[in-house]
C-alpha cells in the first residue's frame, strides 16, 4: 500500500474503470460500494457534494490547456461550467459504468430525460425508430407524438415478435428501442435475437433495464449498444430522488454527453450524492427484493382469488426460459389479476396494510398500483383493453419488508371480499 493508501483499492479496480487491471474482477456489490470513488483533499470516506455552478482556472495558460486537451483533474472530469460536469456526478457515472461493464455512463435529471436525450441525439429528420409495444407509456407517447413533429417516424411492434420486428425495419431505421423486463407484464426480451436482427440491419439498440438493474441483467454483455435506467427506482432505492442513466461504450456515449450539455437535463450534485448512498446498498436490497418477488409470486399463483400472475421467475411466465438464461434474479415486481372487476380490485388494494398506493417501484417500501386507475385513468375501458390493461390488473412492487408479513397482508386482503 502506498502512502495514500490507494494500492489495495487500485488492485481491486475500485478507483474507476480505467484503473482496473485485467485480472481483477470485484463482484457487483463491491463495485456498488467502491467503483468510481473520487479523490478529494479531505480524505473523506464519502464523495464530497461539490456545489458549484462554474469552475475557475489559475491562469489563461491552464485555460488554454483545458480547451485543447479537456484535462482531467482530482479524479473527476474537469469542467468550466456545471452543465458540462461535476465531480459528485462524475463519481456516480463512474460507479454506474462499472456496474454495467460499460466504457462510460451519463447521469440525467430523470429516466425520461435520459430516454428523450438519447432519441434526440441519435435520430434526425427522416429517421425511423422501432419500439416494442410493452414499453413505458411515456416513452411510447414521446416516440409517437413528439418525434413526429421533427419528421421522425415510429413503428410499434408486439413484444417478443421478432418476425414483426424485423419486418418493421426500413432503410431509414436507426434504432430499436425496447425494455427488459417490461412494465407491467414483465416480458423479457431475448437479447441475443434482438442483437442478431439489429446487427444484420446495421441498426443500433437501446434497452431500458430499469426493472432488472445491472445486478440482475447486463444488456451490454449481450451486445446491446446502450442501456438506460430510471435511477429513481432500484438504483437509488429510497423513493427520495429523480435521476436517469445511460451507459454504453465510450465512443457511443460521447455524442450523448455533448447533447446533454445542449439540452440541459443534468442531475444536481445533491441528487448525485443521494444516489451514491443508495447504490452502496443495492446488492443487499435487491437480494431481498428478488427473494420477496419469488415467494409472493408463488403464493399468489396458488391462491384461488387470483386469476393470473406475471413474474419471470414462474414457469408459467411466457418468457421464463429466456429470463432463466439471461438474468441472475427476477426482481421485486409482481403483476397479477384478481377474480373480479374494477371495484373489486380497488377494494382489495384498499385492504392492504403494508404496500402504499403509489406509481413508483424499486424502493425499500412496498408499493402497489391499479394501472387502470393510476397510469391509464384517462382512457376508457375499451381503450385500455386494446393495449392490454385490464381493470383487475394489479402491479405490486415489493420492498425489503419480511416476506411472511407481505404474504399475510395479501392473504387478509384477498380473503376480505
Long-range contacts of 320-328 (CB under 8 A, 24+ apart): 322/188, 322/189, 322/190, 323/181, 323/188, 326/188, 326/191, 326/217, 326/222, 327/188, 327/212, 327/216, 327/217, 328/215, 328/216, 328/217
Between helix 403-414 and helix 342-351 the angle, nearest 10°, is 140
Nearest to 113 by CA among 273, 271, 327: 271
Tell me, rounded to whole angstroms, the distance of Cα 284 from its chain centroid: 18
- Strands 128-132 and 153-157 turn out to be parallel
Q: Which of 233, 257, 285, 395 is catalytic?
A: 233
The yes-or-no answer on residue 288 being catalytic is no
The yes-or-no answer on residue 83 being catalytic is yes
Q: Which of 83, 193, 280, 328 is catalytic?
A: 83
Asked if 337 contacts 344 with a C-beta cutoff of 8 angstroms, the reply is no
For 106-128, give the DSSP string: EEESSHHHHHHHHHHHH--TT-E
Q: Which of 136, 234, 299, 376 is catalytic?
A: 136
The yes-or-no answer on residue 136 being catalytic is yes
Beta strands in 275-417 (DSSP E): 306-310, 333-338, 356-357, 367-369, 393-397
Nearest to 133 by CA among 170, 168, 108, 173: 168
- Cis geometry, peptide bond prior to residue 184 (ω within 30 degrees of 0): yes
The yes-or-no answer on residue 280 being catalytic is no
For 279-293, give the DSSP string: HTTHHHHHHHHHHHH
Cα separation, 115 vs 143, in Å, equals 10
Cα separation, 261 vs 272, in Å, equals 17
Give the torsion sign (CA, 350, 352, 415, 313): positive
Cα separation, 397 vs 337, in Å, equals 14
- By CB neighbour count within 10 A (0-12 exposed, 13-18 middle, 19+ buried), where does 156 fall? middle
Nearest to 296 by CA among 414, 214, 216, 417: 414
Q: Which of 208, 225, 319, 391 is catalytic?
A: 208
Which letter, b or e, does each residue of 94-118 get, where b requires 16 or more Cβ atoms within 10 Å of its Cβ? bbbbbbbbbbbbbbbbbbbbbbbbb
Q: Which residues are catalytic?
A: 83, 136, 208, 233
Amino acid at each position: 500500500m502506498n502512502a495514500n493508501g490507494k494500492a489495495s483499492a487500485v488492485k481491486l479496480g475500485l478507483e474507476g474503470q480505467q484503473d482496473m487491471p485485467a485480472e481483477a474482477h470485484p463482484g457487483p456489490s463491491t463495485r456498488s460500494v467502491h467503483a468510481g470513488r473520487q479523490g478529494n483533499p479531505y480524505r473523506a470516506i464519502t464523495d464530497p457534494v461539490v456545489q458549484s455552478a462554474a469552475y475557475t482556472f489559475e491562469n489563461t495558460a491552464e485555460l488554454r490547456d483545458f480547451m485543447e486537451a479537456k484535462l482531467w483533474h482530482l479524479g473527476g472530469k474537469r469542467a468550466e461550467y456545471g452543465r458540462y460536469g461535476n465531480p459528485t456526478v462524475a463519481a456516480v457515472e463512474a460507479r454506474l459504468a462499472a456496474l454495467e461493464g460499460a466504457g462510460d455512463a451519463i447521469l440525467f435529471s430523470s429516466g425520461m430525460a435520459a430516454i428523450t436525450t438519447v432519441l434526440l441525439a441519435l435520430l434526425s429528420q427522416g429517421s425511423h425508430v422501432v419500439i416494442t409495444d410493452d414499453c413505458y407509456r411515456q416513452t411510447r407517447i414521446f416516440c409517437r407524438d413528439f418525434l413526429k413533429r421533427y419528421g421522425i417516424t415510429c413503428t410499434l411492434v408486439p413484444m417478443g415478435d421478432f418476425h414483426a420486428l424485423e419486418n418493421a425495419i426500413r432503410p431509414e431505421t436507426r434504432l430499436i428501442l425496447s425494455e427488459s423486463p417490461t412494465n407491467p407484464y414483465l416480458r423479457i426480451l431475448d437479447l441475443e435475437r434482438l442483437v442478431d436482427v439489429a446487427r444484420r440491419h446495421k441498426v443500433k439498440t437501446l434497452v431500458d433495464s430499469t426493472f432488472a438493474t445491472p445486478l440482475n441483467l447486463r444488456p451490454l454483455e449481450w451486445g446491446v449498444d446502450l442501456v438506460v435506467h430510471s435511477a429513481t427506482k432500484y438504483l437509488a432505492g429510497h423513493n427520495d430522488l429523480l435521476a436517469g442513466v445511460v451507459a454504453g461504450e465510450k465512443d457511443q456515449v460521447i455524442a450523448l454527453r455533448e447533447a446533454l450539455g445542449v439540452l440541459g437535463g443534468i442531475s444536481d450534485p445533491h441528487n448525485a450524492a443521494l444516489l451514491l448512498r443508495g447504490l452502496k446498498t443495492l446488492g443487499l436490497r435487491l437480494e431481498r427484493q428478488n427473494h420477496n418477488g419469488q415467494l409472493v409470486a408463488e403464493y399468489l399463483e396458488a391462491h384461488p382469488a387470483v386469476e393470473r400472475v406475471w413474474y419471470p421467475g414462474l414457469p408459467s411466465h411466457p418468457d421464463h426460459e429466456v429470463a432463466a438464461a439471461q438474468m441472475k434474479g427476477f426482481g421485486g415486481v409482481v403483476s397479477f389479476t384478481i377474480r373480479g372487476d374494477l371495484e373489486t380490485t380497488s377494494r382489495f388494494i384498499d385492504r392492504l396494510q403494508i404496500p402504499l398506493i403509489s406509481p413508483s417501484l424499486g424502493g425499500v417500501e412496498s408499493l402497489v398500483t391499479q394501472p387502470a386507475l393510476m397510469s391509464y385513468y384517462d382512457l376508457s375501458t375499451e381503450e385500455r383493453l386494446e393495449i392490454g390493461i385490464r381493470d383487475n390488473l394489479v402491479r405490486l412492487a415489493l420492498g425489503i419488508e419480511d416476506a411472511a408479513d407481505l404474504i399475510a397482508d395479501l392473504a387478509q386482503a384477498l380473503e376480505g371480499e
